[in-house]
Amino acid sequence: MQNLKLREKIEEMSGVSVLKCMRCGKCSATCPNYDEMEFHPHQFVYFVEKGEIDKLANSKSIYTCLSCMACVERCPRQVEPAKIIEAVKLLQIRKQGNNHLKPEQVSVSLDPELPAQALTSAFRKYSK
Amino acid sequence: MQEIMKQAKLKAEELLTKGVVNRVIGWTEGDFSYDCSPATFTLDNLDKFVYTEFCGANLSKYLIEESKKEGKILVFLKPCDTYSFNQLIQEHRIKRENIYVVGIECRGKVDIDKLRAFGIDGVLGCKTEGDKLICDTIYGEKTVDKVDVMLEKCLSCKGKKHVVYDELIGEEVVEEPKDRFGMVAQLEAMTEDERYKFWQNELSKCIRCNACRNVCPACSCVHCVFDNPDSNIASKANTDRFEEKLYHIIRAWHVAGRCTDCGECSRVCPQGIPLHLINRKFIKDMNEFYGEYQAGEDTETKAPLNSYTFGDREPHEFDTKEGK
Amino acid sequence: MMKISLKNLPELYSFIAKKNDLYLPIFKAGQVDFAKWDKDAIVDLNKLKTTKSAKDVFFPQSQDLVRFEVDGKKISIDEPIMPTNKQVIFGVKACDNRSFELLDMAFVEDYPDTFYEMRRANTTIVTLACAKPDEACFCKAYGIDAADPKGDVSTWIVDGYLHWMPNTDKGIELTTEVKDFFELDMDNSAVENQQSEIRAIIDRLPYSNIDLSKFTPDKLLELFNSPKWKALSEACLGCGTCTFVCPTCQCYDVKDFKTKTGVQRFKCWDSCMFADFTKCAHGNTRPSQMQRYRQRFMHKLVYFPSNHDGVYSCVGCGRCVQKCPQMLNIVKVIKTLGEDK
Amino acid sequence: MKKIGVFVCWCGSNIAATVDVKAVVEACKKEPNVVFAEDYQYICSEIGQNKMADAIRDYKLDGVVICSCSPRMHEATFRKTAEKAGLNPYMIEVANIREQCSWIHKDIEEGTEKAIVLARTAIAKVLLNAPLQAGESKVTKRALVIGGGIAGIQSALDIADAGFEVDIVEKKPSIGGKMSQLDKTFPTLDCSACILTPKMVDVSAHEKINIFAYSEVEAVSGFVGNFTAKIRQKARYVDTAKCTGCRACMEKCPSKKSLNEFNAGLDTRPAIYIPFAQAVPNKATIDPNACIKLKTGKCGICSKVCTAGAIDYEQKDQIIEREYGAIVVATGYNIINLDKFNELGYSDCKDVITSLEFERLTNAAGPTKGHLICPSDGREPKKIVFVQCVGSRGLRPCDKQYCSKICCMYTAKHAMLLREKHPETEVYVFYIDVRTPGKNYDEFYRRAVEQYGVHYIKGQVGKVIEKDGHLEVQASDLLADEQLHIDADLVVLAAAIEADDTARKIGTMLTASMDTNDFFTEAHAKLKPVESPTAGIFLSGMCQGPKDIPDTVAQAGAAAVKVIGLLSKDTLKCNACVASPNENMCNGCSLCATVCPYGAITYVDKEFRIPGGVQVRRVSQVNEAICQGCGACTVACMSGAMDLKGFTNKEIMAEVESICK
Amino acid sequence: MQVENKTFKPTIVAFCCNWCSYAGADLAGSARLSYPAEVKIIRIPCSCRLNPMFILKAFQRGADGVILCGCHPGDCHYTTGNYYARRRMTTLFSMLNYLGIEKERTRVEWVSAAEGAKFSAVMNDFVATITALGENKKLEDLRCKK
C-alpha cells in the first residue's frame, strides 16, 4: 500500500522530513497519551516513511494526539512527529470535508497534568 | 574663519620658534581666493599661510615623503583628513614620531567649479559672511548661499571630529552625520542598463590624467600597477572604453576597505566624474555585508576585505533591487 | 559679413555634418568638450572654455598606428586607416586657434606627422570671439586678440545672431556651401561694439599684463638653476591634468596593445609630469617631480621659444590655472621666476 | 628564444577516441616557440618518458608541455623525468585533455578544438615559467606533545624511544587524562589503572621526556621543523623539587570543601592536593581558589606541616620558551554538559548520573571505595537504567550530530560488571542502535545479553522524574510497541563526548584547521589521518574525533612515527611555489601579512638607492619554509609587488588570454 | 535573436582551486559527466589567488562569463583562502553589477573534490545562463574584436 505521493504531500504539509528519523523512539517514550493511541508517534513517522498513510488516516489515533508537542520538543532529529500527525489529520479532515468526531467523543481519560492550553487547542481542532 | 587662520598661524609660529618642529605643512595664498595650494613653511614664508573655505586639499599624503625627512613637521589636518592620516599610519606609510598634528576646525569647503557652474565667472576673490559667500568678479559682486557651492565631500561630511591630533584649533562642531549613500542607493535602484548608461556617460569623459590616483592618500604605491608594464593592465590612455572601466574598477578595488571617503578624487577630477560614487559603493556594500567599518577611524581594526567570518554571505547574495 | 539667427544653427550644423565631420563644444555629463556633433548633441557655444582644449580634433588622445597580425609563426602588417574625412571644427576660441599654429611647429615642420598633417589639411576652423573672458585668461600676454579670433572663418555672437566672416580660401569655400542659411549683414557695428567691449574687459584682467620679459633663451641656465623651483613644485601631484587640458602640450608615447591575434600599435598623449615619462632601460631622465615640473614650464617658456624664434608654447587660455588639483600653474611660475630677486 | 616541446598522449583510446591527437600535434607545431611536437600512446610509460627525456636533450628544450591526463595524476612523474633530463622540473606544464576534455566531450571536432586551446594555453604558460628551486630549512630535533592523556603519553613514549627529546604539556597537575579515571576497560576488562600507570611511570622516568604538568601552551610561532612555543607553567605554590609527595599537607589542610575533579565531583578534596594516588608528577598543588592562606593571608598550616619546606605561597606563573620540530596535538575530550536535557533529570535528581560518574562510583579508589550506592541516600540500587546516545546523533542545538562511538561499549561493560558483582540487580539498557564494530566487541556485547542477562531494549527514555525517592522512567519499547514505566533506583546517562574546550584556542595558535565540532581536521580523511593540514602538526587521540583506547593508542603511535620521520631529517625541502615580493615595488603596508594564514610574512627596513641618495623603506619578506603558496597575499597586495612563483600574475593572465583567443 | 543564440558559443573561463574544484572537475571527467566544451579551466592554487584583474582581463579578451570554483567554506586547504575569496568576489561582483554589468556573467561556486556531479551541473547551468544572456558587450575591448 505504498503511496509515495501522499508521503510527499505529508512532508510538504508538515514541513518535516521523515527520512531524518533515526528510530530512537524518544517521541513515543515522551508521549503522555501513549496508551490511548493505536498508532504511536514513532509509528506515524515510520508508516509515513513507508507510504502506508491510509492506515494512519483511518485510525482514531490522529484525534487522540493531544498536540502537546512533547515529541516535537524531545525529538533529537527534528522530525517532529506531532506535525506529521497533524498533517495526516488535516489530510483526512480535508478529504471528509468536516470533522467526524464530536467533542463528547473526545477521550476523557486525559493526563491531569496536561496543560489546559493543549486541551483547548485540541478541542478547537475537533469541533466546528 | 579669519580667527581660526590667525590661531593656526600663531600656533605654527610658536612651534617653529620653540623648535618643536622645523617646518610646517599648510596652505599658501594664491592670486584669487580660490587658488591656494598646499605648501611647506618656515618662519621665512609663514606670512603667506592661509586657511580659508578653499583649503579643501587633504595634506596627509604629503607626509609620506615629508615624514622621512630630517626633523619634525607640523601638519594641519581637517577632521576628514585625520582619517587618511590614521590609515597611512596603519599601513606604515608615515612616521608618526616625525609629525606634530594640529587638528583644525572645518565648517565645509567651497568648490570653485560649482561656483562657476552657478554662473559666477571671473572670480577674483571671495569672502564668507555667515552662510553667504560674497564673490568679487570681473563682472561685479555676486552672492551665493555657501551650502549651494560646497564641495561634494563636505555636503556628505562624516562629522567634524578629529580621530587623531596632538592639539586642536577651533571647535569640533557637533553635527549629524550626513547621508553619504543616497546617490549610491539611487543608482542601485536603476536597472542594469540604466546604470551601465550612466557610468558609460561619466567614465567616457575620463582623460586618464591620473589626478584621482595621485591625490588619493590610499593610492600611495611605490609603483602603481597602471604604470607598470609588467602588470599587464598598464596603459596611458583610455584607448578603448574598456580601459575606462578597467582603470576605475581596479583603482577603486585597490582602495576598497582602505578608502576613508575623503573625497579628494572627486574634488580633483578635471572632468567632474563622480568618483566618490564608486568608492562609496564599496563602502556601502562592506558596511551592509560585513558590519559598519570606517577606514582610518583607528589604526588597528582590520579592513573587511582582509578579514572574514565563517558565515559570510555568498557572492551572489548581494541585493540587486532590479529583477531580470 | 553674414549673419544667422542662433535658433537656425541646428539646421546649419545638420547641413555641414552631411559632408564633414563636424566638431562642436558639446555638453555631456556636466562638462563641455569638443566632440563630433550628432542631432542629439547638446551644443554649448556660450561656454568660454571647454574642459579639454580643441587640439583633440587634430591630435586625438589616442591614435591607432599599425596593426600586426600573428598567425602561428607568420606575421603580417595591416596598413593604418588614414583620417581622410573632411572636418569642420566650430566654436574655436582665439587661444585654441593660436595653439594649432604652435602644434604645427611640432607636427608639420621638420618631421611631419601624417595623421596630424592630413587632419589639419582636411579641416576648416570656425572660430568664435570670447564674449565673456574670465579671470584666468591671459591670451593678451601672447598678443592674441580674443575679440578677433581669425580662423578660416571668424564668428561673433551678438544679440541672438551669429555673425560670420570668412578669412581664408577654406573659409570662403565653406561659406559658399552654406551661404543659403545666412542673411547678408551690412552693418558691422554690432560686432565692432562687442569687440571693443571684449578688449576693454581683457585690459582689466589681472593676468593680461604678466611680464614675460625674463623668459629669454639667454637666461636658460639661470632659470634652470633657480632655487625657486623646489617650492613651486612641492605640491605637484604629478598628475597629467595640466598637460591634458593644455592646448599646446604635444608629447605622446607609442604603445603596443596585444590584441587577440596580434599587436595594435598606437600613440597616445603622455605627460612630462608623469613619473614614467620617457622612462627607458636605465630609468627616468628626470627622477624627481621637481625636475619634471621644471621641464614642463622650461619647455613652454624657454626651450620652445629658443627653437622657434621666440614663440612661447603657451596661449594663455588659463585652463591649467583653473584645473590644477592643487592650484599650481604657469602664471605662478612666470610671476615667481619673473620677480627680480 | 625559448624552445618548447609538446607531447600529446593518446592514453590508449581514452584521449585518442574523442581527440584527434595528430591534429593537436599539427596545431601545436604552428605555435611560436614550439620546436618539437609529437604524439605517443602512453607518455607516462617508460618508453614515453624516455622519448620525453630524449627530446629535452636533443632539442635543448627550455620547456615542455604534455597534453595528457590531469596534472594531479602525472605532473610529478613528468617533473621527475624532466629533472633527470636536465630540465628544471617547473618548466613542465600539463594540459589536461583527458579528464577535462576527451572524457566529457563526445564530438571529435569539439574535443579536438578544445584540446588545441588547452595545449595552446599550456604553451603560453610554460613560456613564462621560470625555473624554480625549492628551499631548505633545518629541523629542531625535539617534539612537543600537547596533552598528557593516554594519547599524549603513548606518542611521547614512542617518539622518545626513537631517541628524540619530547616535552609533554598537561594543563592538570598530573598526567593520565580521562583514562586514569576509568575503572575497567573493554573488551578485556583489565583494570584501567593497572595498564595506564606503568606507562605514566615510564614517562616520568624517561630521560628524553620532560613533563610540564599544570602548564598550558600560550603561543606557538614558526613552522614545520622550527616551531617556538611559549609554555605557561602555572604556579603550584609548591616547590616540586622539594615536595616528596608525602600528603601530610592534604591531611592537615583545613579547607576540604573543594569538589574533587578526579572523582567527577562526587566527593571533595583539600585545597592542597595530589589528584590521585598514582599521580605523575607525584607533587602537591595548591588550589588558589580554595586556599585560605592565598585568599585571606591567614592560615599557612601546610607550610608548617611540610617537613621538606616545599610550600611557597609567593610562587608565580613561569613562561618557558622552547623550540620544537614537530607538535603532537592530544588535547582529548570531555563529556558534554547535560543541563539542557532536563527531561532526563540530570540536574534535578541526584540518582541520575553520567557514565563517568558511574566509573568513579564503581572504582575501588573512588569516593565509595568501589561500593555502588545511590548518591542521594546511599542505598544499594536494585534497578538500574542505562540510556545511550544522550546528546549524540541529534540535530538540536544542545546535541552533537556525530556518534560518540565509545558509549555502546562502555555501557555494555558497565551493565556486565554490575550483573557480575550484583546479580540481584535488574539492568536495563535503552539503545537506538548497538554499534560494536571492533575486534571482540560484538562478542562482548552479546555476552552482556546472553551471559549476564542485561535487558537491552530498543527505544529511548522520554522522561525521568523523581517520585517518592525513586526514579520513574518513562520509555518506549519499540519492538514490543509499548510504553514502559520503570521504577528505577539509578539512571546512568551515556553522555556525548565533545572536544576539550581548549582545543579551539590551540587550533588557532597552531593555524591547524578544525571542523565545526572543534575536532581537528586531518590532512586527508583516508590517506593522512594523523596529520593536520598544517605541516608539522600531528593529531593523536580524541582531539581528532571520538575513538576508544585501542584506536587512540594506535593513532598515537602513528602520529609518533610521523614525528619520528620528520625529526630524523636534518633539513626539510620547502614548497617551491611560494610567494615572493618584489621589494622595489613593495609599500611595506602589511596588507599581505594580515591575510597570510601561516604568518610567513615579515618586514624589514631596507636601504634603497634613489636619485641623489639612499632611502630606507619598509619591505616585506616571505619565509619560504612557512609559505604554503595559497596566494592570498598576492591579491591583498595593491602594487602587485607580491607574486606567487609557479602561478604568477603574468602566467595566469597569459592563460586567460590564450583561452579567450 | 533566437537564431543568433543558437550559433552563439560563449567563451567561459573557469578558475578552479587546485585542491577541491580542479579535482572535482577531474572527477566529473572520470565519471564522464559531460559539460560544454566552451568551459576552459585555469588551475590556481586556491580561490584566494584569483585577482580581480584576471576576471577583467578575461572579459577584455572576449570572455562571456567567468566562474570561480573553490573549496566549500571551512574546507580550504589553506584554511582561510576561500573566506577571503568569498568576501573579495562578493564585493567585486556587486561592484560590476553596480556599473551595469549583468550579474549572471560572474559566479562563484563551491565544489569539493567529491562533487564531480555538481561541477558538471554547475558548468551546464552556467553555460546555459551565459548563452541565454548573449555576448558580453558591456565589458568588451573592441581592439580584441577582429
> How many D×E Cβ pairs under 8 Å?
133
Q: Does residue D586 sit at the B interface (CB-CB below 8 Å)?
A: yes
Q: Where are the domains of chain D?
A: 4-128, 142-234+317-332+500-567, 248-305, 334-498, 579-645
Tens of pLDDT, residues B135-155: 999 999 999 999 999 999 999
Mean pLDDT, rounded, for C224-247: 94
- Give the chains touching E; criterion: ≥3 Cβ pairs < 8 Å: B, C, D
For residue C241, pLDDT beyond 70: yes
* Dist. CA E91–CA B127, nearest whole Å: 43
E-proximal residues of D, 111-130, CB under 8 Å: 111, 113-114, 117-118, 121
| Residue B319 confidence (pLDDT) above 80 | no
**Nearest in space to B75 (alpha carbons), one of B101, B54, B50:** B101
How far, CA to CA in Å, does D631 sit from each of D106, D415, D656?
Answer: 36, 56, 18
Interface contact flag, D660 E11, Cβ < 8 Å: yes
CA B139 to chain centre: 32
Distance CA A121, CA A127 (A): 10
Phi, psi of B288 (to 5 degrees): -75, -40
Q: Report CB contact under 8 Å: A28, D395.
A: no
Q: For position C324, what pLDDT does the model report?
A: 95
CA-wise closest residue to D21 among D5, D4, D6, D3 = D6
- Angstrom CA distances, B248 to A117, B289, C245, D519, D646, stand at 64, 22, 20, 45, 29
Strand partners, D39: D8
Pairing of strands D215-223, B123-129: unpaired
For β-strands D490-495 and D352-354, DSSP reports them as parallel
pLDDT band at C189 (very low <50, low <70, confident <90, very high): very high
Per residue in D129-165, pLDDT (tens digit) is: 999 998 888 999 999 999 999 999 999 999 999 999 9
**Chain E interface residues facing chain B, Cβ-Cβ under 8 Å?**
52-53, 56-57, 59-60, 73-74, 80, 83-84, 86-104, 106-108, 138-143
Model confidence at B322, pLDDT cuts 50, 70, 90, reads very low
Chain E positions in Cβ-Cβ contact with residue D577 (cut-off 8 Å): 45
Please indicate, yes or no, if residue E61 is contained in any of the structural domains. yes
Q: What is the mean pLDDT of chain D?
A: 93
The string of pLDDT tens digits covering residues D91-117 is 999 999 999 999 999 999 999 999 999
Query: What's the CATH architecture for D579-645?
Result: 2-Layer Sandwich (3.30)
Please check the confidence at residue E1 and state whether its pLDDT lies above 50: no
Q: What is the tens place of the pLDDT at every residue in C104-115?
A: 999 998 889 999
Q: Which residue has the cell 561541477?
A: E119
DSSP C285: S
Best probe of the C interface among D1, D6, D28, D30, by most C CBs < 10 A, is: D30
How confident is the model at residue D510, as a pLDDT? 85
Q: List the Cα angle D276/D278/D281 in 5-degree steps.
A: 95
Touching, A vs E (3+ Cβ pairs under 8 A): no
Q: Which of B121, B211, B272 sits opposite C31 (nearest CB)?
A: B272
Cβ–Cβ contacts within 10 Å for residue D518, how many? 17
pLDDT at E19: 87
Closest by CA to D648, choosing from D254, D217, D128, is D128
Angle at B63 between CA B61 and CA B67, to 5 degrees: 155
pLDDT for D42-75, tens place per residue?
999 999 999 999 999 999 999 999 999 999 889 9
State the best of E17, E21, E78, E92 to mutate against chain D, taking most chain D CBs within 10 Å. Answer: E78
Alpha carbons B137 and B125: distance in angstroms, whole number: 7
Q: What is the CA radius of gyration of chain E?
A: 15
For D524-548, what is each residue's pLDDT tens digit?
A: 777 789 998 778 999 999 999 999 9
**Half-sphere exposure of residue A23: CA atoms within 13 angstroms, side-chain side:** 14
Q: Is D109 on the interface with E (CB under 8 A)?
A: no
Cell of E12: 567561459
Which chain E residue lies closest to B191 (C-alpha atoms)? E100
Asked if B209 and C133 come within 8 Å (Cβ–Cβ), the reply is no
Query: Which residues on neighbouring strands pair with residue D323, listed in sequence order?
Result: D228
Task: Choose the weakest-confidence range: B261-270, D519-528, D555-564.
Answer: D519-528
Q: How confident is the model at residue C313 (pLDDT cuts 50, 70, 90)?
A: very high
Give SS3 for C44: coil
- List pLDDT tens digits, range D565-613: 999 999 988 889 999 999 999 999 999 999 998 888 999 999 998 877 8
Nearest to C234 among B40, B238, B268 (CB): B40
- D with C: 3 or more CB pairs under 8 Å? yes
Give the percent of chain D with pLDDT over 70.
100
Chain B residues whose beta carbon lies within 8 Å of the beta carbon of residue D617: 222
Asked if the Cβ–Cβ distance from E146 to C257 is below 8 Å, we say no
- Are the C-beta atoms of residues D299 and D291 closer than 8 Å to each other? yes
| Per-residue H/E/C for E59-121 | HHCCCCEEEEEECCCCCCCCCCHHHHHHHHHHHHHHHHHHCCCCHHHEEEEECCCCCHHHHHH
Interface of D with C in 605-624 (CB under 8 A): 610-612
Out of D597, D647, D659, name the one closest to residue E78 (CB).
D597
Q: Which of D4, D87, D92, D81 is nearest to D45 (CA)?
A: D81
* Interface probe, candidates A16, A17, A28, A47, chain D, greatest D C-beta count within 10 A: A28
Least confident stretch, C71-80, C111-120, C195-204: C71-80
Phi, psi of C305, rounded to the nearest 5 degrees: -60, -35
- For B308, the closest of E60, E84, E140 (CB atoms) is E84
| Domain of E69, in residue numbers | 2-135
DSSP state of D100: I
Chain E residues in contact with B308 by the CB 8 A cut-off are 80, 83-84, 86-87
CA-CA-CA-CA torsion sign (D37, D42, D43, D49) = negative
> What is the mean predicted confidence (pLDDT) over D295-313?
93
**Angle, nearest 10°, between helix axes D21-30 and D108-128?**
40
What is the full DSSP assignment across C47-108? -SS-SS-GGGGTS-SEEEEEEEEEETTEEEEEPPPP--S-EEEEEE-HHHHHHHHHHHHHHT
Q: Which CATH superfamily is domain D142-234+317-332+500-567 in?
A: FAD/NAD(P)-binding domain (3.50.50.60)
Answer for the pair C184, C26: CB distance below 8 angstroms, yes or no.
no
pTM reported for the whole predicted model:
0.75
Number of separate domains in chain E: 1
Q: Per-residue pLDDT tens for D355-377?
A: 999 999 999 999 999 999 999 99
pLDDT band at residue B29, thresholds of 50, 70 and 90? very high
Q: Give the three cell numbers for residue D251.
A: 591531611
CB contact under 8 A, D483 and A77: no
Determine the pLDDT at residue B321.
Answer: 43
Chains in contact with D, where contact requires at least 3 CB pairs less than 8 Å apart: A, B, C, E
User: What is the SS3 assignment for D386?
Assistant: strand
Evaluated on CA atoms B72, B74, B75, B78, the torsion sign reads positive
Q: Quick one: pLDDT band at residue E3, thresholds 50, 70, 90?
A: very low
Residue in D with minimal Cα distance to A20: D395
CB D562 within 8 A of CB D531: yes
Quote the pLDDT of residue D615.
86
Neighbours of C215 (CB within 10 A): 22
CA nearest to B57, candidates B221, B252, B220, B263: B263
Q: A30 to chain D: which residues are within 8 Å by CB?
A: 343, 462-463, 474
Among E11, E40, E45, select the one facing D631 at the smallest CB separation. Answer: E45
Residue with cell 567616457: B204
Q: How far is CA E15 from each of CA B150, E39, E82, rounded to the nearest angstrom?
A: 46, 10, 13
Contacts of E46 in chain B (CB under 8 A): none
C-alpha angle C310/B35/C135, rounded to 5°? 60
The CATH number of residue E75's host domain is 3.40.50
Check CB contact of E146 with chain C, cutoff 8 Å.
yes
CA–CA min distance C80, chain E (Å):
14
D79 close contact with E: CB closer than 8 A: no
**Coil, helix or strand for D143?**
strand
What percentage of residues in chain E have a pLDDT greater than 70?
Answer: 95
Q: Within 10 A of D194 (CB to CB), how many other CB atoms are there? A: 10
Give the torsion sign (CA, D15, D20, D25, D30). Answer: negative
Where would I find the H helices in D391-494? 407-421, 441-450
pLDDT in tens, E41-52: 999 999 999 999
Cα D187 to Cα C112: distance, rounded to the nearest angstrom: 99
Find, among E90, E86, E13, the residue nearest to E55 by Cα: E13
- Chain C contact for E62, CB < 8 A? yes
Cα separation of E72 and E77, whole Å?
A: 10
DSSP secondary structure code for residue C240 in this structure: S
N residues, chain A:
128
Assign domain A4-126 one CATH number from 1.10.1060, 3.10.520, 2.60.40, 3.10.20: 1.10.1060
Q: Which of C71, C73, C74 is most worth mutating to test chain D (most D CB atoms within 10 A of its CB)? A: C73
**Considering only alpha carbons, which residue of chain C is nearest residue D30?**
C72
Q: Is the Cβ pair E29, D98 closer than 8 Å?
A: yes
Question: Domain D4-128, CATH 2.60.40 — does that match?
Answer: no
Each residue's pLDDT tens digit, E50-82:
999 999 999 999 999 999 999 988 778 887 899
Interface test with C, best of B29, B31, B42, B251 (most C CBs within 10 A): B31
Contacts of D155 by beta carbon, 8 Å cutoff, 6+ apart: D145, D166, D328, D330, D538, D540, D556, D557, D559, D560, D563
* Cα angle E3-E107-E114, degrees, rounded to a multiple of 5: 110
Contacts of C215 by beta carbon, 8 Å cutoff, 6+ apart: C223, C301, C302, C305, C312, C334, C337, C338
CATH class of D334-498: alpha beta
Give the residue from A19, A28, A25, A76 showing the smallest Cα distance to A50.
A19
Q: Measured between alpha carbons, how far is D109 from D68 in angstroms, rounded to an integer?
A: 18
**Where do the structural domains in chain B lie, given as residue ranges?**
2-109+159-169, 112-149, 182-317
DSSP state of D574: P
Q: What is the pLDDT of residue A13?
A: 87
| D588/B92 touch (CB, cutoff 8 Å), yes or no | yes
Q: CA D133, CA D88: separation in Å to the nearest integer?
A: 8
Predicted pLDDT at A102: 53
Which residues lie below 8 Å from residue D448, measured CB to CB, with a gap of 6+? Answer: D412, D413, D415, D416, D419, D454, D456
In D253-400, which ranges are continuous DSSP H helix?
292-296, 301-305, 355-362
Which stretches of D588-648 are DSSP H helices?
591-595, 632-636
Tell me the mean pLDDT in the region C185-193: 90
In a domain, E7, yes or no: yes
Record: contact D463-A29, CB cut-off 8 A: yes
Q: Are C236 and C293 in contact (CB under 8 A)?
A: yes
Judge: D649–B231 Cβ closer than 8 Å, yes or no.
yes
Q: Give the per-residue pLDDT at A119.
A: 60
Q: Does B239 touch chain D (CB under 8 A)?
A: no
- Residues of chain A with pLDDT below 50 are 1, 100-101, 127-128
- CB contact (8 A) between residue E52 and residue B289: no
In this prediction the ipTM stands at: 0.83
Give the chain E residue nearest D532 (alpha carbons): E77
Cell numbers linked to B78: 581637517
Q: Which chains touch A (3 or more CB pairs under 8 A)?
A: D
Residue E132: which H helix or E strand, with range?
helix E116-133
Question: Which residues of chain E are within 8 Å of residue C257 when distances are taken between CB atoms?
Answer: 143
Helices E116-133, E21-30: axis angle to 10 degrees equals 100
What's the pLDDT tens digit per position in C253-284?
999 999 988 999 999 999 999 998 988 887 88
Domain ranges of chain C: 2-204, 217-338
B80-103 pLDDT, tens digit per residue, is: 999 999 999 999 999 999 999 999
